[in-house]
Every structure is written in C-alpha cells, then in structure tokens.
Amino acid sequence: MASPAGDRLPPIIMADYARIDSGLNQGTPYLCMLCGIDRLSNWDGLTADAVRARKAAWTDRLVGAVDAAFPGFAGLVVQHEMATPATMHAVLNTPGGAVYGFAPETLVRSPRTAVPGLYLASAWAAAGGFTGAMIGGASAARAALRN
C-alpha cells in the first residue's frame, strides 16, 4: 500500500459484523470492516496532510473494489475510518504495526492454566484478532463448564 496509484490491490478481507451475534451491531448503520496487508514503512516519514491524502485515496480504492464485487455497497457507506500500521504501532504499540498485535507462533492447546479454575479467555489463548478472542472465550467457557 505504498502508493494508491496503479491497478493492484492488496489482499483484503471483509467482515460484516451484522452476520454474527457480536453485540457490535445493534441496528443501522451496520459495521463492516475491511482488513488488508500493509507495512509500517509505507507510512513512515509522511506529513499529516500526506497521511490524510493517502488514507482517502486508499479508502476510495478499497470501497470501490468491494462495490465492484457487491454493487451498491459504496452508496451505503455513511462513515469510514482507516487505521494503518502506523496507527496500530502508535496506539497499541504493536511490533511493526501488526494488525493483530502479536505473532501467534505457538498456539495454546488448552485454555487451562496451572491455577485450578483459572482459564485463559482471550486472543492470547487462541489466535489474533476478534475471531481469536471469540474462539479463546468459547474454549475457556467449555473447559470451565466441563470442570
């Protein structure tokens, strides 16, 4: 995502949180998230104006790509915000601006801990991001109920 010009787009994932009971969508407008691949170095050394311009250009391109696959999508967007690797690094202090904050190189096999009755229920117990947190919480709940 060094330059919004050109024909290539990074791989992106679209999550429609209205499709699951996440508690994030209590009504319209609905939250939809696009997540893609980028590097912190693509945002280093830019002025605030340059960051705003690059975010706007990329937001237009990404919304346009989704609209091409799902006609009418762009017309339904009422607000948007873009977090970059620089955002992740500045706000969450993630290494290299990683979107999920850590490299899940070794997945925990069980939510159980060495402390009886204490279970891990978070992304750190399963995998990164929202999905990892949901899986970690469900695994901890199942383990606690079995106990």
Which of 24-33, 72-81, 110-119, 122-131 has the weakest average pLDDT?
A: 122-131
Q: What are phi and psi of 3, to 5 degrees?
A: -140, 130
Nearest one of 110, 97, 95, 100 to 130, comparing CA atoms? 100
Mean of pLDDT over the chain: 84
Query: Could you read off the pLDDT of 24-54 as tens digits, one per residue?
Result: 777 788 888 888 888 999 999 999 999 999 9
Separation between Cα atoms, residue 106 and residue 127, nearest integer Å: 9
% the chain with pLDDT above 90: 37
In the prediction, which pLDDT does 105 show? 61
pTM above 0.75, yes or no: no
